[in-house]
Amino acid sequence: MNTRSPGAAIAAAWRRIEAFHDEMFVAPWRQALEREARRQDDTFRALVMLDALGVENPVAYETMELIPYLVGDLHDWHRRMGQSTFGDPGMCC
């Protein structure tokens, strides 16, 4: 006797379909997609940092309010950019 509910069977089938989709359509390009996402994040972060330093930024109005959200990612970003430390002592590392 099967004690699984129809909802559980549908959910399990959906998870198998998602896994198949991921293997067929996402996995072959995952590394390239992650690299492109990092590149876009780095470009955006550079725009925000340049704006904070006073460099003219064409989208300054939209990016100034995002600085507090990017502070948490600052450490990972400057490590990817090849800098072992960033800013004044106590600012990041």
Rounded-to-integer distance, Cα 59 and Cα 79, Å? 26
User: Which residues span the domain enclosing 22?
Assistant: 6-80
Q: What is the CA radius of gyration of the chain?
A: 21
For the entire predicted model, the pTM comes to 0.48
Count up the domains in the chain and report the number: 1
Half-sphere exposure of 31 (CA within 13 A, CB side): 1
Q: What is the pLDDT of residues 6-56, one digit of tens each?
A: 888 999 999 999 999 988 888 888 889 899 999 998 888 888 788 778 887
Contact 57, 50 (CB under 8 A): yes
Model pLDDT, residue 2 = 57
Better-predicted residue by pLDDT, 82 or 63: 82
Whether the per-residue pLDDT at 81 is higher than 90: the answer is no
Residue 13 lies in a domain: yes
Q: Which two tokens stand for residue 57?
A: 């930024």
Is 85 part of any domain? Answer: no
Q: Mark 44-56 as b/e (b = at least 16 C-beta within 10 Å).
A: ebebbbebeeeee
The answer to whether residue 29 sits within a structural domain is: yes
**Which of the given ranges, 27-31, 61-65, 72-76, has the highest pLDDT on average?**
27-31
